[in-house]
Amino acid sequence: MDLILWRHAEAENAPEGGDDLSRPLTSKGERQAMRMAAWLDRHLPEGTRVLVSPSRRTQQTVAPLGRKFKLRDELTPEASLEDIFTLLKWHPETGPQLKGPVLLVGHQPYLGNIVSQLLGMNEGACAVRKGAVWWLRTRVRDGQVQTVLLTVACPELISRSWDDRS
């Protein structure tokens, strides 16, 4: 199973007493989302399931990808790793029970905690930048579940070639 983690792009700060889930992307965040969506569109396999936090900023981040997605309450900013692994049908000892790639569009700190746990790092050791994608692959080798990091991509380092597409 490939698990692709995409942190929402840069968002406006919440006004005093404002609703965190309704924060929109900044103009920089919109550019980040477009750049990463173009990159992902070139690399994601057909049939990738796309699961998205119900926050406005994650929905705006995934929109330029142009693929169907499902909003999942289990992916709010306060989500626990247990809730997310249950959603993904992922068991710590046996790995994922589902086949096929999954793109999860969500928030810190849980995205970094997923990376840390699956790659055997100390909890909280991994920070995922705004707009960045971490692509993980889980496999079974010699009866052992292994997760490997395929790539990390951030919008600042992705080619601007999407700007030239018309």
Which CATH code, of 3.40.190.10, 3.40.50.1240, 3.40.50.300, 3.40.50.1820, is assigned to 2-8+21-164?
A: 3.40.50.1240
Residue 81 confidence class, pLDDT cut points 50, 70, 90: very high
Res 95: pLDDT? 84
Q: Are 102 and 87 in contact (CB under 8 A)?
A: no
With a pLDDT cut of 90, the percent of the chain lying above it is 74
Residue 98 confidence class, pLDDT cut points 50, 70, 90: confident
Pair type for strands 102-106 and 49-52: parallel
What amino acid is encoded at 62 in this protein?
A: V
> Rounded to two decimals, what is the model's pTM?
0.92
Domain boundaries, the chain: 2-8+21-164
Residue 159 confidence class, pLDDT cut points 50, 70, 90: low
